[in-house]
Amino acid sequence: LPRAIVVGVKKGGTRAVLEFIRVHPDVRALGTEPHFFDRNYHRGLEWYRSLMPRTLDSQITVEKTPSYFVTKEAPRRIFNMSRETKLIVVVRNPVTRAISDYTQTLSKKPDIPTFEGLTFRNRSLGLVDTSWNAIRIGMYAVHLESWLQYFPLSQIHFVSGEKLITDPAGEMGKVQDFLGIKRVITDKHFYFNKTKGFPCLKKSESSGLPRCLGKSKGRTHVQIDPEVIEQLRDFYRPYNIKFYETVGQDFRWE
């Protein structure tokens, strides 16, 4: 069973963290998202275990399903599997995250309403629709409360989605420390891909090609009215501040 789970958040950089950490010889990771603790819990723990890669005693199994972070039952269910589970949460500026989320949905369903239309219940009053998932996910402080009922902060590691782009080796260094494994993944593993606008893994000795995340990553975001962005910043500010205070880390989204 996994000793560490990347539990969130969607469009934060979870795929990058998973691809980067699985380069480590002491880590084996499940490539697909099993969605066990949200959608497939009824299938039971043995089903979940059967999906996991084979590991040596010295290796850590990792899986990632970003929707766990916003699933009410997930903290209790993971706790019931093992209270020792280490949790990784990749967060990024909630406004950018929401736009990225919308951009992804739009690429699959071109006929959805505008970003603006979905964001506000009443734009002139500045009333944000918190029932829309793209908005709700970014209220990190709210979701974190459910996790802290079961896990101490020391068992949750927060990765900055922004720093993952500007300093991947630095962020992954902290992830390796958190997992209690040697810092094997360093600067020499990354190069910056200007076309995509994010770092990619350099080829290892064994595999011929450099590994970049798929076509669905690094999409050009939809252009949003700056006023809408400003209103959203105002909306998220109190949640962000509470989040910073709770985790003891300033992500500088203000």
Range of the domain at 145: 4-247
pLDDT at 203 over 90: no
22-31, 35-44, 68-77, 186-195, range with the lowest pLDDT: 186-195
pLDDT for res 204: 59
pLDDT at 208 over 80: no
Domain-located, residue 239? yes
217 labeled binding residue: yes
Assigned token pair, 175: 């992830």
Domain-located, residue 253? no
Beta-carbon contacts of residue 143 (< 8 Å; ≥ 6 apart): 8, 69, 70, 137
The CATH number assigned to the domain holding 35 equals 3.40.50.300
pLDDT for res 213: 74
11 labeled binding residue: yes
Stated length of the chain:
254
Q: What percent of the chain has pLDDT over 90?
A: 87
pTM for this prediction: 0.94
pLDDT tens digits along 156-178: 999 999 999 999 999 999 999 99
Domain-located, residue 121? yes
Measure Cα distances from 40 to 44, 50, 53, 157 in Å. 8, 13, 18, 25
Domain-located, residue 254? no
Give the DSSP H/E element, type plus range, for residue 27.
strand 27-29
Measure Cα distances from 208 to 16, 175, 211 in Å. 19, 26, 9
43 labeled binding residue: no
pLDDT tens digits along 56-83: 999 999 999 999 999 999 999 999 999 9
Select which of 11, 108, 196, 202 is catalytic.
11
Confirm whether 196 is a catalytic residue.
no
pLDDT at 184 over 60: yes
pLDDT for res 217: 67
124 labeled binding residue: no
Domain-located, residue 134? yes
Mean pLDDT confidence for 93-102: 98
pLDDT for res 202: 84
pLDDT at 231 over 60: yes
Assigned token pair, 143: 């979701």
pLDDT at 230 over 90: yes
31-40, 81-90, 199-208, range with the lowest pLDDT: 199-208
pLDDT for res 170: 97
pLDDT at 207 over 60: no
The total domain count for the chain is 1
Domain-located, residue 252? no
pLDDT at 186 over 80: yes
